[in-house]
Amino acid sequence: MAPTSSSDVPANDAPDLFRNESDALEKARAIHANGDADAEQSRLALGELIGHFERLMRETRRLIGRSDRAEREMHALTQQLQYRATHDALTDVLNRSAVIERTSKALRADRAVMILLDIDEFKKVNDDFGHPVGDMVILGIVDCLRRIVGEQGVIGRVGGEEFTVLLPGHDLAAALLLAEKMRAAIGSHVFAAPVNRRITASFGVSANPVRTEFDTAYGLADSALYKAKRGGRNRVEFAESEEALGVMPEGE
């Protein structure tokens, strides 16, 4: 008969990792069942069983510790991935998909103002100084926005040099004041060398009642931004939906 190789051994014939413990347990059971077993036999069997039990306890604690560490690392990795999925890699503000989700959620619950801003003539910055300097300018712009917006709203980056500021629960008048402060902060900001020029931004603002769709809020702000660009740049323009203005559609 041909010898059996290790590869021919069925998977269920794998070595018993608890063979020594099982043997010690069976020995203790046998002595316990034997009414004639003397005290020394019982003591030795119990000592052997205790030794194996203590080893199992140590290994169990070690494995639980490893499992807890792995769970914490997995949780931290999951949080990191979730953050990166919703934030812009350069600026750490919300990315476009997160802006859409956050705005839609805010408008389901309350009115909200959408501010859309675009860095004026940003292409010249990249052409004259290169993209790394352009990135530095973008970071400077975001710093200006953070200083003014604070906890009042949420900043997002929806394009290369285009940003949004969502202001949940705000009215148009307060939002326009805030937009003017942002515009002034950017216009007065001194950027590091080699940038040797004033950087400005144009703003479009839309005031939106509850249940406004994102596309509507964004489209109105974009129209106002286009108006600001045509009007000479470095200015704030606004648009309101017909419902916010109290204008009823014809026929109603």
Give the tens place of pLDDT for each residue, 131-182: 999 999 999 999 999 999 999 999 999 999 999 999 999 999 999 999 999 9
- Any idea which residues carry the catalytic annotation? 161
Residue 87: pLDDT over 90:
yes
Domain 96-245 homologous superfamily, CATH:
Reverse transcriptase/Diguanylate cyclase domain (3.30.70.270)
Ranges 48-52, 53-57, 149-153, 248-252, most confident: 149-153
Q: Which residue has the higher pLDDT, 216 or 29?
A: 216
DSSP structure string for the chain: -PPPPGGGS-GGG---TTHHHHHHHHHHHHHHH-TT--HHHHHHHHHHHHHHHHHHHHHHHHHHHHHHHHHHHHHHHHHHHHHHHHB-TTT-SB-HHHHHHHHHHHHHHS-EEEEEEEETTHHHHHHHH-HHHHHHHHHHHHHHHHHHHTTSSEEEE-SSSEEEEEEET--HHHHHHHHHHHHHHHHH--PPTT--S---EEEEEEEE-TT--HHHHHHHHHHHHHHHHHTTSS-EEEEE-HHHHTPPPTT-
Q: Mean pLDDT over residues 214-238, rounded? A: 97
| Domain assignments of the chain as residue spans, ordered by start | 17-80, 96-245
